[in-house]
Amino acid sequence: MRGFENYLHWSFLLASLGGVQAKLDLNSTKNIAVYWGQNSYEASGGKGQGQQSLGYYCDNDDIDGGVPEVDFSSTSADCDVFEGTQLKNCPKIGEDIKTCQQKGKTILLSIGGATYSEGGFKSEDDAKAGAQLIWDTFGPAQDGSKVLRPFGDAVLDGFDFDFEANVQHMAPFANELRALMDKETSKTYFLTAAPQCPYPDASDKEILNGPVSIDAVWVQFYNNYCGVNNFDTNEKNSKYNFEEWDNWAKTVSQNPNVKVLMGVPADTTAASTGYVPASKLADVIAYSKKFESFGGVMMWDMTQAYANQGFLEDVRQALSGPDSGSSSSSSSNEASTPTSAPSSTNTPETSLSSNAPGSSSSSSSSSASGSSSATPEDAETAIQTLPIQAPATTTKAPAPKPTEPTEPTKPTKPPTTAAPPRANYP
């Protein structure tokens, strides 16, 4: 198969952050997802809130109870390259991943992004070989394998799909990853996706409406007419469409226990439209919690959340508050993951995600054996930009696709700078 960079563009590494027991809990309504690695606050002109290491955020008690999401485009200081290749070698990030996992965090690597345009795989066989290479590169290390591993012996907790362009043969790719994860029973692995809120999502529908078992979706409720900024307490006037995604979870998803997380911008410059201050977001959270599929909140991104003082804490409090009274349904106690049941906690869970573009594989070998030998370019493009990719190529910015024009809610906190280019958003 061709160089893997022609098929996939690394986007985000997600980590479950916060608290002593902050693993991603698919039985909980208190998960928080926050992207890390893009440093979008400084990219949008912000000052004084530079991005810290992944390990720094895992150590921060203020982030107990959520799912921060990570972007590696601004982590060049933590990486060099494998000799004779352009593949990023990031041992510091690998150590941070293990440290975060020891603290109970869940780390996922997301594939895709707003700037991905390669079109996918040539065939189903190529897609399956690509999945095998991803697993060999980021899953459990195989004895004798010659596959280069940017994070060393660190093992990710799963993978996230964030395709915002049409991608060929993604269902067999996702199914192969699911099968490889399910065969490895030493721990629970997660498969997630980050669609935009208009339903059905044009780019991810092959995965979401097909035979792929997804554990959770982080729906981007911003940059579109269906965002949280268009929520109205009078449901007849509300364009916020969480109910539509809840219906997908119940009637379309291959996994009937799939969780839906509400994706929001963490500050005024984090997205083109859709930012809502935490005081108003609490009403949206209370409404959304009445749906059985609700699993928490996703934020873009960590630097924006830290610059917007109090936002993360206020969202955590809103998640811990009472559910909306009307038609609240008791959520199932069954785990949403096919592999094993996640632990339950009473505190919000936090997860981190990081943008890691560029891990390419030109080897056509898809053998699961430890002797699989991929050329240095195999994981090279997907990970070379993983830590150092420029914002324009590693961001997860959804392309605004409103089906009807609306006037976005005016944020209470005026931005200090103009909104950054689209490529700086998830």
Chain-centre distance of CA 309, in angstroms? Answer: 23
* Residues in CB range of 234: below 8 A, 6 or more apart: none
Q: Is 243 a catalytic residue?
A: no
* Residues in CB range of 186: below 8 A, 6 or more apart: 140
CA distance 414 to 267: 10
Contact between 15 and 36 (Cβ < 8 Å): yes
CA distance 120 to 127: 8
Q: Cα dist. 373→86, 173, 253 in Å?
A: 17, 20, 36
Name the active-site residue from 42, 69, 164, 176.
164
Tokens coding 271? 């997205």
Q: Which residue reads 């192969």 in tokens?
A: 176
Tokens coding 355? 């943008």
Amino acid (one-letter) located at 65: G
Backbone angles phi, psi at 261, to 5 degrees: -100, 140
CA distance 212 to 241: 23
Q: Cα dist. 244→206, 289, 294, 319 in Å?
A: 18, 14, 12, 21
Helices then strands (H, E): number in the chain?
12, 12
* Residues in CB range of 46: below 8 A, 6 or more apart: 269, 303, 307, 416, 417
Contact between 254 and 212 (Cβ < 8 Å): yes
* Alpha-carbon radius of gyration of the chain: 19
- Residues with a known catalytic role: 164
